[in-house]
Amino acid sequence: MRNFHVTTVWGIPIRVNISLLVFLPVLAWLIGSGSQIELYAGLVGGLAGTTLDLARLQAGSTPWLVGTLAAVGLFVSVTLHELGHAWAAMRYDLEVESITLWILGGLASFKQMPREWNREFWIAVAGPITSILVGVVCYAGLLALPASATVTLFVVGWLAVTNVFLAVFNMLPAFPMDGGRVLRALLARSRPYASATRIAARIGTAFAVLFAVVGALSFSPLLLLLALFIYAAATGESRTVALSDLLDGLTVGDVARPAALTIEAEASVEDLVDRMFADRSTEFTVTQGGEVVGVVTVADFHALSQAERSSDTVADLMETDLPRLAADLSAFDALVELDTSRASAALVEGPDGVHVVSREDFSSAMEMRRLVGTGDPF
């Protein structure tokens, strides 16, 4: 979904997802509804040592004002929470690409997550610590405000309570929430990083199922959405770490294969079919004037109509917009590049010429690594 750039803090772009823009009026209405104001007025009044005028809070358009201020304040608090993560990451010289606010809160995107358990621990806890500090500041403001400032008292008190709740909720060991990352960091002290990730991801999946059940029983769409997010993120990160471990220490040049099976771009489709049968291969590197210019597969051939098969050349159906990668690029980063560009293969430029790497090559390399263990079969 589309993101809108709002501002930049410490060189980090702060973006707002369109889902948040749609959800904010709904959140303002939920907070400003009579039952929510009644629920929190007594709590905030107790914290402030006074009694809030409930009739004043519920009069006319005041509930909308209360709801809007509280909703905006909540996402300012979420931004500060994510900036807490970002500040801790920057202390370790890690690059923070962006902070995105969306319907379920905020996401700080790092160029690379650290594998050192102590770094991940402090980056993870920095967010909840920031939320606690924001809650304390709001509580101090609550005590300093005059009793006559009913609306301001309510909003500041609500933010004090909500920030503490935000910190506590985020510390649940539901990977990849903050508590789940803390759990992985502590597990990684005494076991391999991939193993720690698998355990944390399983616990995160269990929480996702729990949230889904509670969300279904309480008719809470947000809890169901959170369950889906945790499940997808936990399983996705577990896979990513497993892939990274299997490709650790390899460059894309190690994985790529020489362009042994080649066909000229000017060759006819019939020539291509004959070569596929003769060489028992469904993929060929396409050359033109001795230079590698693309890749052609049996899938490209299947996409042609009968008329095109008799008139087209290999140049008409080959894939040419393939990523070009340096041979010394890490294999994992190359696989990410392949996924990002949605290409079936990439051209690898090395000192001994241009090679080709496909998803099948990465699969073969990982299977070899899995079979032989952590040694280097290349």
Give the pair of three-digit tokens for residue 261: 């099976």
What span, in angstroms and rounded, lies between the C-alpha atoms of 127 and 47?
Answer: 24
| Sheet containing strand 262-264, strands side by side | 262-264, 283-288, 291-297
Helices marked H in 259-297 = 269-279
What span, in angstroms and rounded, lies between the C-alpha atoms of 138 and 82?
Answer: 18
DSSP 118-135: HHHHHHHHHHHHHHHHHH
Catalytic one among 38, 82, 95, 337?
A: 82
Alpha-carbon 177 to chain mean position = 12
Specify whether the CB–CB gap between 114 and 123 falls below 8 A. yes
Please report which helix (H) or strand (E) contains residue 346, including its range. strand 345-350
DSSP 8-state secondary structure symbol assigned to residue 295: E
What span, in angstroms and rounded, lies between the C-alpha atoms of 296 and 345?
Answer: 10
Is position 82 annotated as part of the catalytic site? yes
DSSP 8-state secondary structure symbol assigned to residue 374: T
Which residue, among 276, 80, 239, 49, has the nearest Cα to 159 in the 3D structure?
80
DSSP 40-57: HHHHHHHHHTS---HHHH
Neighbour-count burial of 306, counting CB atoms closer than 10 A to its CB (0-12 exposed, 13-18 middle, 19+ buried): exposed
Annotated binding residue 93: no
Annotated binding residue 85: yes
Annotated binding residue 312: no
Residues with a catalytic annotation lie at: 82
- The annotation places the binding site at 81, 85, 178
- The annotation places the binding site for Zn(2+) at 81, 85, 178
